[in-house]
Amino acid sequence: MASNEETTGPVSKEDIEAAEKLKNEANEYFKKQNYNSAIELYTKAIEKNPNHAVYYGNRSISNLRLENFGYALGDASKAIELDRGYTKAYYRRAAAHMSLGKYKLALKDFEYVTKVRPNDQDAKMKFNECNKIVKKIAFEKAISVDKKEVNIADSINLESMTIEDEYEGPGLEDGKVTLKFVTELMEFYKQQKKLHKKYAYKILIDVKAYLQKQPSLVDIKVADDKKFTVCGDIHGQYYDLMNIFALNGLPSETNPYLFNGDFVDRGSFSVECIFTLFSFKLLFPNHFFMSRGNHETLDMNRMYGFRGEVTSKYTAQMADLFTEVYNWLPLAHCINSRVLVMHGGLFSKDDITLDDIRKVDRNKQPPEDGIMCELLWSDPQPMMGRAPSKRGVGCQFGPDVTANFLQRNGLDYVIRSHEVKNDGYELAHDGKCITVFSAPNYCDTMGNLGAFITMNGKDLEPNFTTYEAVPHPDVKPMAYANSFLSMLCQ
């Protein structure tokens, strides 16, 4: 690697030593899973010595852990440019490509390593694994083209599913979700038991039928003297979801909620989270709302655990049905025509209106750009204007973009989720862009608080409640994730 040091001119011995010291400090933060601090120090090391591939490689893996796939991709590419023989950089770039659903580009990186290192068994194994995924996806696509008209929800035969005598869990009453059912279900799940597949399928079929009738932007009316709660990402952290209800009361017609996307993935109790939330949606359709997040998508579910979890606890067919249901989740909600809530953020264009959001055809996997993509993926930035996304999808938008959007659409402020925050929430853009994140100690590693927002209909003033993580059974996050991805991120 040292042979590339002439790339941007000579670096003094003092700077080389200082950079190594910074890298070693950064490595300690990385080991403690404090990735933001690690990134800061790797960046300082790069400033001292911009010619050392490992600094970029290490910053790349840190960004991968924070889901900054765009930055991870750029750093891995820079590391490769500095040292063509740096195998880990190819693996990290491949992991970033895979996280963005670009499996063929990932395969190219593995193919290159196998060519330059024909005797490297590890590289060969990773190439073969990635090749299997690419072929499987191609096969699934081919089948889905053949079955374009097949609607999984319509093809489920509930009558043929029998409830075994030994099943002791909650049951739907006359095929309907009741408060008794949801209350029993939540307790049943706390004991790590499984809802009968017949009831699980019925809930999904009914939720899909309801969501299909909803617009892409749902208008919510909250009376002056009534409370409304907005929660951010839950990410399969079922016991923390139960804690929210313990702190803030169960959802009801007098205690309405909006859950703002990313209900699943990473946390290993995603099935429990989504069936609880969907049950409340069916029970209180006009007082319980759910927005689509970037993790209610096929590529994310394939990599980050939800698809594996559903297949393990139920069937691959049910995993496909979830994909079908998620396609119908609304993309945004507007409270009293004054507060817009979406999972990701604002847009790369200036002239977007609420009507444009209403007109989005959402029944699909999100495209790589445009309104739907940006609602699910964008992030605020402190600088004015816009920048390419650190995630490699969507955009980053500044305070001026937020102010212009609010003025154009007669709004007071926006609420979004999508990013871990140490306090569980963050006010940006003069308080006009609020992030709320409801999964405390995210992935059992980040040490962050969770938060939710309460407001009343009259002034819509946001109030923040924060809380720590609660204990959960010993099932690690990412237990069902694609093992290949975690292997690449070592």
- Angle, CA of 326, 329 and 330, to the nearest 5°: 155
Q: Does residue 295 carry a catalytic annotation?
A: yes
The answer to whether the beta carbons of residues 53 and 19 sit under 8 Å apart is no
Residue in 218, 217, 219, 226 with CA at minimum distance from that of residue 460: 226
Size of the chain, expressed as the number of residues it contains: 490
Among candidate residues 97, 295, 418, 429, the one labeled active-site is 295
Residue in 384, 387, 377 with CA at minimum distance from that of residue 404: 384
Residue 142, C-beta contacts closer than 8 angstroms, at least 6 positions apart? none
Q: CA 109, CA 414: separation in Å to the nearest integer?
A: 40
* Cβ-based burial of 407 (10 A; exposed 0-12, middle 13-18, buried ≥19): exposed
For 131-134, the CB contacts below 8 A with 24+ separation are 131/107, 133/98, 133/103, 133/482, 133/484, 134/103, 134/104, 134/107
Q: CA 191, CA 254: separation in Å to the nearest integer?
A: 29
Q: CA 383, CA 398: separation in Å to the nearest integer?
A: 5
Gyration radius from the chain CA atoms: 23
* Cβ-based burial of 333 (10 A; exposed 0-12, middle 13-18, buried ≥19): buried
The region, left, alpha or beta by phi > 0 then psi within -120 to 50, assigned to residue 73 is alpha
Residue in 318, 315, 331 with CA at minimum distance from that of residue 364: 331
DSSP 361-396: --SSS--SSSHHHHHHH-EE-SSSSEEE-TTSSSEE
Q: CA 133, CA 107: separation in Å to the nearest integer?
A: 9
The DSSP 8-state label assigned to residue 107 in this structure reads: H
The answer to whether the beta carbons of residues 390 and 376 sit under 8 Å apart is no
- The stretches of 66-178 forming alpha helices (DSSP H) are 69-82, 87-99, 103-116, 121-146, 152-155
The residues annotated with a catalytic role in the active site are 295
